[in-house]
Amino acid sequence: MTDEEARGAVEAPRASSRPPAWHRGRVYDGRMSDDVKHPSDLGIDVSDGRPQQLYRWLLASVLFGRPVQQSVAADTYRVLIDHGLTSPARFAEHDHEGLRRLLDEGSYARIDHVMSDELHEVMAHVVDDWGSVSHLVRSSADRRELTARLTALTGVGPKTAEIFTRELPDSLYGTAEA
């Protein structure tokens, strides 16, 4: 057992080898989402700070920051993206029940009501306070300031902020245009 597993940071893999609900009917490449350790495991590249990639990593980080299996968080991330939740503003287009149903589709059912509210609130604050995830990141002077901004949001605790910020290159901070 690794130190991460002992601390509970790594969830146990899914027992079933069956593709998740979001994947049924698609070509299945045999890889399950049990080993997400880096944004690239979800097809996300935050290395150059492209706005869409930063948004996607924040969304994934919020899902991974909860006490759910990694495979459930990864599957739910894909469901949300597949259903067009491709920017913080798109969350306003879904009511609580609509978003809860999408979370259920990704098997994020145990805390779907709480997560539905928190995703709405986090994304609304990003839009209202910074306009985009990119501006949130780039207008932060450093990782510490970004962490403070993130943890001030309902539903984003230290673990979620750490998941998000640990993968961001330091060169992104303080680069927002005035």
Instruction: Name which of 14-18, 71-75, 118-122 the model is least confident about.
Output: 14-18
* Mean confidence (pLDDT) of the chain: 81
CATH number at residue 69: 1.10.340.30
Burial annotation 26-50 (CB, 10 A radius, 16+ → b, else e): eeeeeebbbebeebeebebbbeebe
Q: Is residue 38 part of a domain?
A: no
Q: Is residue 108 part of a domain?
A: yes
Q: Is residue 137 part of a domain?
A: yes
Q: What's the pTM?
A: 0.79
| Banded model confidence at residue 101, pLDDT cuts 50, 70, 90 | very high
Distance from C-alpha of 39 to C-alpha of 52, rounded to nearest angstrom: 13
Q: In angstroms, how far is CA 36 from the centroid of its own chain?
A: 12
Q: pLDDT tens-digit profile of 21-78?
A: 333 333 323 333 456 678 988 999 999 999 999 999 999 999 999 888 888 899 999 9
pLDDT of 83: 94
DSSP, res 68: S
Contact at 8 Å (CB) between 135 and 175? no
Q: Is residue 14 part of a domain?
A: no
Contact at 8 Å (CB) between 155 and 64? no
Q: Is residue 88 part of a domain?
A: yes
Determine the structural domain holding residue 156 and report its residue range.
50-172
pLDDT of 68: 84
Q: Is residue 43 part of a domain?
A: no
Question: What's the half-sphere exposure (Cβ side, CA atoms, 13 Å) at 104?
Answer: 7
Count structural domains, the chain.
Answer: 1
Contact at 8 Å (CB) between 122 and 142? no
